[in-house]
Structure formats: structure tokens, C-alpha cells
Amino acid sequence: MRVLVTGGAGFIGSHIVGALRDGGHEVVVLDALLPTAHASRPELGDGGRWERASAGEGGAGRPSGHNRGARPEPPGGVAWLHGDVRDRATVDNALEGVDAVCHQAAMVGLGKDFTDAPDYVSCNEFGTAVLLAGMAAAGVERLVLAGSMVVYGEGAYRCAEHGPVRPAPRAKADLDAGRFEPPCPDCGRSLAPGLVGEDAPVDPRNVYAATKVAQEHLSSAWARMTGGTAVSLRYHNVYGPGMPRDTPYAGVASFFRSSLAKGEPPRVFEDGRQRRDFVHVRDVAAANLAAVTGAPVPPGGFAAYNVASGGPRTVGELATELARACAGPAPVVTGEYRLGDVRHVTASIERIGAELGWAPRVGFAEGIDEFATADPREGAAV
């Protein structure tokens, strides 16, 4: 199978490329190499080299001898194209001969502030629309989307009196006063967090989350209108080798690792007891491989799956384990917060196990020990 991986030079995308190659597939990588994720052009193994995706991108176009539609074919079965998924000519070029697409290209994280909103919408929503239009024209029938747990907003909660409830967004006054747990919307009592399943209603609470919901809706519409199959893999907190650092678009594990590398303690927001599910990037890559090759055709052509470790941890635990693995200073709990953050969101992984046969393989302690010593990916600070 020939698979296009958009964003394939990035943190998660590069691991997906490796998993696909190891599975015997031919891979095409399309990546814009945005400076927020790439401070410099990545080194390519196996003799790979970057090729401009179209004559209009960057002016000069291809080196002589490459016509439109041609692509380099270095050893290892990977064709590398440098171009932006928002450009239709670039997308059409990349899709030639492709059987399936793993769409990883996106702006991620909470970013700096709301002034990032146009860039998020452009990269994540408009870019996905251009890609899907190209897939429809080219007759490519399978899409695996990099979804996210952020679509849920807060996770699953239960009130002792009212049963399952969905708390409202946390009030700034409560956060300022150090009241971080969301109360029951009916009685104001404490709630017990649980595991959120894929059938939970979406509730995006920041710009990035809103764009990830939009990507799923666009993918679902594409599947219904074309007869294709779209699978959204809702990644939880991904970490591992090659994670970007020193950029506001990185994840919490990267922030902690950067502090420890400078001999500084990790700064843990709120009280450190907020719960997440930290899943290793190799497990995420394996989930993509399973979705590309084995996902059933769902009703309506669209399905979503949580991709997580199945073992919730607190952010404070993550910081403590990283500090141990790095032999660095103990974490400092600051009480700071980000208004767009949610308190608890952890996942049920029953559906992906039952329908795709996927299960996480990398344990938390093993993954953290590896991450503590792995080379990070430098992004441009903005």
C-alpha cells in the first residue's frame, strides 16, 4: 500500500513513517517544515532528500529532470516532499498513486494566546479541507486523521447524587482562589472523574480543540459524500523521542524536560493533581498502522477511537517521574493555571482494542526513562 503522511517529518508523523515502512508499505511524506516545529530542516535517513512539491512553492520548483508529478524515490521506500497541505497543487502532486492518507499536519497545543486563532484555523481546518478535496478528486478512499482528546473538553464525571454529569467550564474566580476541581452543575458537590468513551459529546474549550472538532466534521462529511472511510484517532497526551521543545506549541512533558535540562525544577500548574493519560509515541504510530490496514468500514464511513495508555496519571506524577529519570530537582507546584485547560480527561480504550486489535505496549516508567535521555526536536521559539 502507498500511504501519504502529511506532517511526516514531525514528532508523531516521523514515527508513523517508520511504523509504515516496517510494515512493508511505501510512504510519501508531505511536510511544510513550519518553524514552530522545525528549527532546521530534518536530516533524512536511507539516502532521502527533500524535493519541492510544486514549481510554485518557493519559486524555483524541482531540480532539472523532475517533471510535475515526479518525486524522489530514495532507498527505504519513502518519498519526501516539501510543501504545504493548504496548497491544492501540492496536495494533488502528493496524492498521485496513493491508497491511503495519515493526516498529521496541524498546529497543536494551546499556543500563545487567541491571536494564534487565524493560524490554527488556516492550518487545521482549511488545510484539511484542501486535502479532502484532493482525495475526493484523486479517488483516495481511506483517511486516518490525527484527532485529539481535546474535543471532549472535560472528561467523564460522576456525582454521588446525580450520576453522570458534564461540568461547565471552570470559572476564573474559582481558579484564582485555588478551587481547581469542577463542581457538580446541579448541586455543587465534588465529582469523581472517570474514563471518557468515544460516544461522549464533543465540548471544545479552546481554539485548538475547536479546530480538531472541525477536522472530524469535515472528514465525516467527506466519507459520506465519497463513500470513503475516515478514522479519527483521538490521541491523548503523546510523549517520547523527538518531541519538540522550547516552543509554546509543545506538550507538558516537553516543558518539564526542557526545565530539567537547564537544571531547573519542573513547574507544575494548579495543584498537580489534574489527571491525564500519557501515551508513548511508538504506541500512537502502531495505532495508525492498525487504522490504515485494519479499520472496518463504520456506518456512515466515519469512526473515532481513543488512543491512550489506559493508565491515567496526574501531571504531578509525570513531573516527579521525569525529575527522577533526569536526576534533576524536584518539581515545584505553582498554583498557576491556563484558562483554556481542563481539569481531568482520561480515556477508555475498549473500542480500539475490540475493533482494531490495538493495545499499548510501552509502560509509563519505561517510556519516561527513555524520554529522559532521548534527543528532543528543537522548534523555533515564538
Question: 180-205, pLDDT tens digit by residue?
Answer: 999 999 999 999 999 999 999 999 98
pLDDT number for residue 19: 96
Q: Is the pLDDT of residue 3 over 90?
A: yes
How large is the average pLDDT for residues 22-30? 95
pTM summary value: 0.88
CATH number of the domain at 97, please. Answer: 3.40.50.720
pLDDT number for residue 39: 59
pLDDT number for residue 211: 97
Q: Is the pLDDT higher at 39 or at 143? A: 143
Confidence category of residue 299, pLDDT binned at 50, 70, 90: confident
Question: 239-268, pLDDT tens digit by residue?
Answer: 999 888 766 656 899 999 999 999 999 999
Question: 208-220, pLDDT tens digit by residue?
Answer: 999 999 999 999 9
235 occurs within a structural domain: yes
Q: Is the pLDDT of residue 114 over 50?
A: yes
pLDDT number for residue 37: 67
172 occurs within a structural domain: no
Region at 142 (left for phi over 0; alpha for psi -120 to 50; beta for the rest): beta
Which alpha helices (DSSP H) does the chain contain, by range? 11-22, 88-94, 117-120, 127-138, 172-176, 207-226, 252-261, 281-294, 315-325, 350-356, 364-373
Q: Is the pLDDT of residue 56 over 60?
A: no
Helix (H, G, I), strand (E, B) or coil at 233: strand
303 occurs within a structural domain: yes
212 occurs within a structural domain: yes
Cell 512493508 sits on residue: 24
The DSSP result for 30-86, as a single string, is EE---TTT-SSPPP-STT---EES-TTSTTT-SPTT--TT-----TTTEEEEE--TT
pLDDT number for residue 75: 38
Range of the domain at 19: 2-153+196-240+279-309+348-361
Confidence category of residue 42, pLDDT binned at 50, 70, 90: low
pLDDT number for residue 235: 97
Burial class (CB in 10 A: 0-12, 13-18, 19+), 221: middle
54 occurs within a structural domain: yes
Question: 325-340, pLDDT tens digit by residue?
Answer: 999 999 999 999 988 7
80 occurs within a structural domain: yes
165 occurs within a structural domain: no
Q: Is the pLDDT of residue 60 over 60?
A: no
Tally of structural domains, the chain: 1
End-to-end C-alpha distance for the chain, whole angstroms: 38
Average pLDDT, the chain: 87
Q: Is the pLDDT higher at 295 or at 129? A: 129
Q: Which three cell numbers stand for residue 353?
A: 482494542
175 occurs within a structural domain: no
Rounded Cα distance between 87 and 64, Å, is 22
Burial class (CB in 10 A: 0-12, 13-18, 19+), 181: middle
Confidence category of residue 115, pLDDT binned at 50, 70, 90: confident
pLDDT number for residue 33: 87
